[in-house]
Amino acid sequence: MNTKMPVRKLGTQGLEVSAIGLGCMGMSFGLGPAADKNEMIKLMHAAVEQGVTFFDTAEVYGPFANEELVGEALKPFRKEVIIATKFGFNIENGKMNGVTSKPENIRKAVEGSLKRLQVDVIDLLYQHRVDPTVPIEDVAGTVKDLIKEGKVKYFGLSEAGASTIRKAHAVQPVTALQSEYSLWTRQHEKEIIPTIEELGIGFVAFSPLGKGFLAGKIDETTKFAEGDIRNILPRFTEEARSANKKLLDLLQQFANEKNATTAQIAIAWVLAQKSWIVPIPGTTKLHRLTENNGAINIYLSAAELQAIEEASAQIIITGNRYTEAMEKSTGL
């Protein structure tokens, strides 16, 4: 394993992170029962050994459990790693209850995150979802104040639309936009990616493996655990999984040629799109972590990227990535 993982710059304010990060959400939240805490600490330590310096969490994952886990796991490596977290949901009695980005809520969230992550400063703080009731300028202004106070280093947005990004960036430079991006979720290429390229904002790609589908181990017979978000996603119905195999077959073709896995080709494709895109695949398994990070050693030539582009353009992806209600909360 190449432990000297290359770094990439996010934004123009000086943030550098490993070219592949680690999404930590699924360790505690969203994919059925939480994984064993000690195993997840071992996994994060292995990630650091493999050269990963960029870890992604949020107060709402759990709620709170994931930040506590990440804080405990990464405490010994505090000087070596960048931890990103997010605010923006109203959490009442341990349950998520809609979005909120009122300035007082942002401050409360940050104080909680600092404690749970066991840090003096949050490296990268994202607004998790756009709150239509609070002007984005007020959100950016609050984060600007938190940066001045030394509680936050860099400001990010998640799943925000182009005009929101522009308005926020005018108040406080946005270092990174985090949104879903993979070979089967590409709607951000139309407007979002050109906007952030123009403004000098980095892109953090979550679900670069299409919530696991592009790793090739999920088919129409796969049963997801209770509490796994994929049980309700249109793209993960049995019919959709069966239809979407065509994309996997395409990835498999390139994987065979490169002596790689479909997951590695999917991540290498994301890395090849722009030098300022950082994918953050999530996993709870050590062998998957090693496999995902191995994508850094796979080079896709211009001709190969063109071939993937042409072949994937013929494949219609079945099913929306989110339910209608979830899509509404993205702010796009």
- 142 burial class (0-12, 13-18, 19+ CB within 10 angstroms)? buried
The pLDDT value given to residue 1:
42
pLDDT digits (tens, 9 = 90+) for 118-172: 999 999 999 999 999 999 999 999 999 999 999 999 999 999 999 999 999 999 9
Q: Order of strands, edge to edge, in the sheet holding 277-279? A: 22-23, 54-56, 82-87, 122-127, 152-158, 174-180, 202-206, 277-279
* Domain ranges for the chain: 7-211+270-298
pLDDT (0 to 100) of residue 332: 67
Per residue in 89-107, is it b (16+ CB within 10 Å) or e — as a string? bebeeeeeeebbbeeebbb
Catalytic residue among 61, 126, 154, 181: 61
pLDDT digits (tens, 9 = 90+) for 132-147: 999 999 999 999 999 9
Residues of the chain with pLDDT under 70: 1-3, 332
Distance of CA 36 to the CA centre of its chain: 22
**Distance (Å, whole) CA 167 – CA 137:** 6
| pLDDT at residue 288 in the model | 98
pLDDT of 329 reads 77
What is the CATH number that goes with domain 7-211+270-298?
3.20.20.100
Helix ranges restricted to H, the chain: 37-49, 65-74, 103-117, 136-148, 162-171, 192-199, 238-243, 245-258, 262-273, 286-293, 302-313, 324-328
181 in active site: no
User: Burial of 283 by CB count in 10 Å (0-12 exposed, 13-18 middle, 19+ buried)?
Assistant: buried
Report the C-alpha gap between 188 and 194 in whole angstroms: 9
And the tokens for 125? Answer: 């703080």
In sequence order, what are the beta bridge partners of 278? 204
